[in-house]
Amino acid sequence: MPTKQLVTRYEDDLKLFPDMWHKIGLTVAIPLLLLYPFAANNQWLTIGNLAWVTVVGAVGMMLLTGFCGQISLGHAAFLAVGAYTTAILGEQLGMPFWIGIPIGGLIAAMVGLAVGPFALRLEGFYLAIVTLGLLFLVNHTLHSMPDLTHGAMGIAVPMHLWFPAEEGSLGTFSQTLELGPIELSFERKLYYLFLAMALGAAYMAKNVARSNTGRAMMAVRDHDVAAEVMGINPARAKITSFGLSSFFAGVAGGMFACQQQYITIEPPFDMNMSVQYIAIIVLGGVGTVFGAIWGAIIFVILSPLAENLFDTLKPYMPLLSGLSSAQQATLLFSIVVVLFLIFEPLGVLGFWLRVKRYFMAWPFKY
């Protein structure tokens, strides 16, 4: 299936925006994204913030599973490490959030690098079971340190802008900022911050995919023995993918903690979250940054739509009344993923490629 015009130079193949479609999409998307906080109500603004958090986490999952082919059920563990690191640094040490979030990503990356060697001898479901054990281990560790994490009670997440931190507050970032006629509430400021971080994560992942490291990951994913024969070190590729994936997951966890302002261990950092991230990249299209972004956005948008849909169907389907809103969203998302796997295995990416191919070949139909 052709996805772009034929190129004859290696430089053209590595372009970030290789054709007219990317440039048109970028031109249309930028003003829409910048104006969205002023056009959306509070509910959809919160959904937008959660979408960017999920995009960063999905990019991390794509680097591991989509690029390197390593199935992980412990993705929520890395998000938990990043979230609690950000929360502890902000509450206990009064550290600004823009320092706490990257530190949370680095600590999560250290945990990922420690798990990476297990991927050298394990593959498929065996590796998934090991990473699932990591999730329970991290949750148990967080519960075992109530002095830092406050255990099952949860912990507040202040967003300090600078030193010294304010005592007993959620930080100066949570206060409304007025710039002349423009009023930037906490949610709006968070939106622009998360948008910049999501775009940065997507840009970094795209560069990884175009680099020698990314190409080595994809070669190991397709056939590790053949990749090793060609001179690629599968061990280095797998461990690097775990480190990069866990870093992005840790950053996403820190973003999620800042958005929630108060977090607990379980939920949300449980197996359900890990399975959701696998489903997200399947829905979007495995092996592409495009799939990570659009899979995450569609997943977050389905949650409020599921609530409205099931409220309408409850009189006709009594079994739905016993499900929580999160379970209803999971049920609808599962149905959507199954339908995509049946009718469009490439996910949203496959649908986009069909549309793109139609216009590339127009007015011909072949």
The three-point CA angle 197-45-307 to 5° equals 120
Q: pLDDT by residue (tens digit) across 147-172? A: 888 878 888 888 887 776 555 455 66
Residue 347 or residue 312, greater confidence: 347
Q: pLDDT by residue (tens digit) across 84-119? A: 999 888 888 878 888 889 999 999 999 888 887 877
Q: pLDDT by residue (tens digit) across 170-212? A: 566 767 777 767 777 888 888 999 999 999 999 999 888 888 8
* Mean pLDDT confidence for 208-237: 86
Q: pLDDT by residue (tens digit) across 6-52? A: 667 777 667 777 777 777 878 888 888 888 888 888 888 888 899 99
Q: How many CA atoms lie within 13 A of 242 on its CB side?
A: 25
Distance CA 276, CA 299 (A): 9
pLDDT > 90? residue 366: no
At residue 166, the pLDDT reads: 58
At residue 156, the pLDDT reads: 84
Q: pLDDT by residue (tens digit) across 276-287? A: 888 888 888 888
Which stretch of 42-51, 124-133, 231-240 has the lowest confidence by average pLDDT?
124-133
* Mean pLDDT confidence for 244-260: 92
Domains of the chain by range and CATH? Answer: 10-361 (1.10.3470)
pTM to 2 decimals? 0.86
At residue 365, the pLDDT reads: 64
Q: Using 50, 70 and 90 to split pLDDT, how confident is the model at 4?
A: low
Phi, psi of 26 (to 5 degrees): -65, -40
Report whether 296 contacts 57 (CB < 8 A): yes
pLDDT > 80? residue 328: no
Task: Give 190's contacts (C-beta < 8 A, 6+ positions apart).
Answer: 49, 258, 259
At residue 1, the pLDDT reads: 46
Q: Using 50, 70 and 90 to split pLDDT, how confident is the model at 231?
A: confident
Classify burial at 27, counting beta carbons within 10 Å of its beta carbon; exposed 0-12, middle 13-18, buried 19 or more: exposed
Q: pLDDT by residue (tens digit) across 285-325? A: 888 888 889 889 988 888 777 767 766 766 666 666 666 66
Residue 176: left (phi > 0), alpha (psi -120 to 50), or beta? beta
At residue 197, the pLDDT reads: 92
Phi, psi of 279 (to 5 degrees): -65, -35
